[in-house]
Structure 1
Amino acid sequence: MLNRFRKRSLTRQILYLILIMLMILLIAFTIQDRIAKQIIERKVTESVETISQQVIEKMNSFDADIKGISTFLFYSPTVQSYLNTEDEMTRILDHREVLSMFDNTNSMKTNIRGIQLYDTAGKQLARFGEGDNLADITLVKELTYSGLLELDTRPTEHFYAITTPVYGIDSNGIVTELKGIGRFYMDVTNLSPILASAAITPNAQVRLLDAENRTIAGAGSVEGGESFQVDDWSRDSDYIVQTFTLPRSNWKLVSVIPKDELLADLDTIKRFNITTYLVMFVLFQLFLVLFSNRILKPIRALLDFVKTYPKQGGSSRFQVALDNEVGVLGTNLNKMLDEISVLSDEVQAAQKRMYEVELTKKQMEVSAFRNQINPHFLYNTLESIRAVAFYHGVQDIADISESLSKMFRYAVKAGNVVTLQDEIAHVQEYARITDFRFRGRFRFQFDVEEQLLNVSALKMLLQPLVENAVFHGLERKVGPGMVWIDVYRMADQRIQVSIRDNGIGMDGVRLQELTGQLVRYDERDGMHEESGQGIGMLNIYRRIKLFYGDAADMTLTSRLNEGTTVTVTFPDQMNESFGGG
């Protein structure tokens, strides 16, 4: 699939990509709208549930108040005495006092519109305010709420009744058998303010329904007494319907919220998304036009020129008509063709010169091979000089010839790695020659740890530094001189070689100059400049850095007219790959 897409033209590829982007954008808008709706509905549902729980708590608080009022009223001594007496005359005398208590209780709750008291046979014993004259009454065992009531005396108003059992209490305060039934007739108007807090949108409905789904009270565009079928509204997808059952009364608290009110702000976002989609579609169309005229057509012209140039060749060039990137590409192509033309001529001339140089180089190599000296010839010559010296009894010449032969054999011997014992022996031969040259003026003292003699080290490491000490430090000194060669193992198991002399030393300027050369060598990653004095020391530094890397180091200390010390530190392990010639 991807290969087939790659084989399409650039125009088709961009067109496909634009269509895919528009489809992805449309899908993203649709998913965003759906998710936003789900989030809003979920949040609103959670909010309504929280508010409804608060309404239920208020209803429970109201229920607790009613229970307290009923206990205060019906278990008062006056009402208890009124219920317990069987004498009609006594009841007539106590009736006014009972009504007075009913009147006082009525003032405790403004929505109490009537209070009635019945005996267990259903006979009405006392009545205050509104209420029906019921011939029979259902005996209840706990506080019970009725459904919606319509009284004949007030047909335009709605009521509900709260019925509670009244038990007798003897002189010892013990509850006895059921003595009667008390009933409160309540006005529904006190419920509407409680329900109003649950209406979260202007056209939302909050209803309190009885067991027969009649509206007791409500908030919003709700009429009391009308029937309300919760199941029918729940099936309507245009509304969010939630139902909560009040525990004691079995009334239902119903919240009905129109979805269009919740999603009104979301419609604004949807219109904005649609507008954005249309604007992007127009912009993509404009992009295609500009891409075709400003990029695609010039690129095709450039490709046609590239295809036809091998046939035309010569001085033909691309006609640049635009100042954009394609125009810059065409201009650079023309410059490249000009440069190729020039370089072609230069290459031909260079090839001719190269053949001539290569021929000259071969001739020089042949000449160099002819002039090479066989090292064995030098060894044999030195041995002949030594034999002649023995014959004539000149021991000094014999000894120097021997030392020089050993040094020469050591220097040309293949390999870069030797033992410290071989390197010390080489320095000792140099010391013998130096002692002869300067007639015992200079002395050399070696202090080498015996266990380090078999450790591998870099070839020609010590002798150049010792020679440097003699040449720069001791030769210019008046009187005898001394060179100390110390080799020992450090605490970190590295080997440290110290070449110290008591020569003329150097001042701070010269010391800083030589130290600076070492620093510049590190900073230039191995590049170094040759500056006369110090070349041998820099070569040693370069070699230890090449062979040992950062594990090796060289330090230089000196005092004018006191001497100089060169310290070289390197590990006792060396990569065997460096041991070749």
Structure 2
Amino acid sequence: MIFLLQIYYYTRFQVLSEDKEELHTSEIMKQVEERMVSFMTDVKDAAIAVSYNTTIQNYLESDDVIYKLTNHNNVTEITSGVMSSNKNISSIFLWDKKKIGIGSLTKKSFRVREDLEEGYEQDLYKRNAAFFGKVHNREGTTNPIYYYVHPILPQNVADYREESDHYDYSIVLYDLDYVDDMLSNIHATSNSLLMLIDNSGFIVSANKNRLKNQHLDDSTLERVADITDTKTLEFDQEMYTVQLKSINNFGLKIVSLIPVHEATNEIRNIRNVGSIVGLIMTLLIFTMGYAFFRSVTSPFDKIIRFMNNIGNKQGKQRMEIHSKNEIGFLMKEINVMLDKIDAANEHVIQTNSLLYETEITKKQAELLNLQSQINPHFLYNTLETIRSIALARNVMEVVEITTAISDIFRYSIKGKDYVTIENEMTCIQNYLQIMSIRYMDKFSFHIQVDDAIHQSRIPKMILQPIVENAIYHGLEQKSGKGILTIQGGKTEDNRIQFEITDNGIGIEDEKLKMIQASLSEVQPETLNLEVNSGLGLLNTHKRIQLAYGNGYGIEIDSKYNEGTTILVRMPWEDLS
């Protein structure tokens, strides 16, 4: 009878042990799955945070070079901020519709671009083309490069309805050090194997370094793919108990391999010492049950009474801790929870106060905006009043000056930053009309601009500073009557060229060389675009290069006591 009982309990313990091992392994795999889902979701969230950032969307949609240069640092700060929030992300960069990279570009970035263009060309034309990728065995790569691609749709998504359209993309490169560390610390048994594989059988990570970045052979991969429950499998010339768990939506599988002989070790020990341990445990259970009853019931009753009285008294309420066991730890955690609740309440109060102050600041800004809109109307009305008085008293010079000033004022503060040459020349004529009255016909001017370029687009107020320099620094100091000539047309290389010539006093050779050197050394990013900054010859040159590039700008030539010629070159943009 005793022998039969031993056989019965041994068999039962064997089944229970196998079930426990299977359950333990399932729990491990579930934890790994949860961590991997969290890891991959963090990578996706980083790409989504970049893709749906309005600053980045506006930056990629804009064709304005000035706007892009101005906001380039903002885009870099946004991607760097997102990257710094996740230590597993090694790089975040953008590919725009023209396949130009923006951000932290490295050799890995261009390997990813090659992989995308060759392996995912069709996916890149789909609006919802968000996917994980891997660069492996490509020339120039020693280890796999893992990345996630997410499209950056414009704010007006209706403009991109066709699948053949190109999109902007955010690309997140991430490291698997976290995954490697996680798996290397997980061992169900001393020689158990835990692997993370993709759909192609590539071992992404494992708790044994020798298995990483290897491929399962076809036969092993086929047998692993057929596993629906716990099975045995021969791997690396040894029999293993195998469990498989798929990570949905990420194309990954967790494979657990436990040597069969290690899974049954516990059974042998149970068979040998089962009876003795059973007797000892029975005595211990009675003893510990009595001690547990005495040590747990009273503290739990105290906790219940305390929780029922929370909020009934003024001030902070905390539990007195007298023991260092689990009950004492629970009391300590309750006190910590109450501290966090108090801190959260204080934070809510501070947040509400900050929101109130922010609302006040917003209202003040709206008031200042309304006040700023009053000033232009006031100036228009003042100029119109002066014009009316001058007209009534037949002072025609004042009428002409106020009319021209009003037109220039409206032109300079209203409308877009780019205007047609026709509008720009109207502004120049108004300015020259004022200067002719001021200097009492000390100089004459001639304007000759081809009709073919009248509708071409140029930056607003780009020629006025040059004309102003010609008058104040050339013609004003000349004895006798001067001549100012403005000519404009399109060159053979499809550029717009303006030639502004005066026969004033000219520029001395030494000073001319300094000016020419300054123009050749200008860097567009040093341009100060504050509203009140003066735009002289140098800043005009900077504005042109900032808008169109280093191939455009201003050239100056002058002879002392003979005159000065300034050439202005810009690209031709026909808006007709």
TM-score range, shorter chain: 0.3 to 0.5
Computing the radius of gyration over CA atoms, which structure comes out larger, 1 or 2? 1
Give the structure, 1 or 2, with the largest relative contact order (CA under 8 Å, sep 6 or more): 2
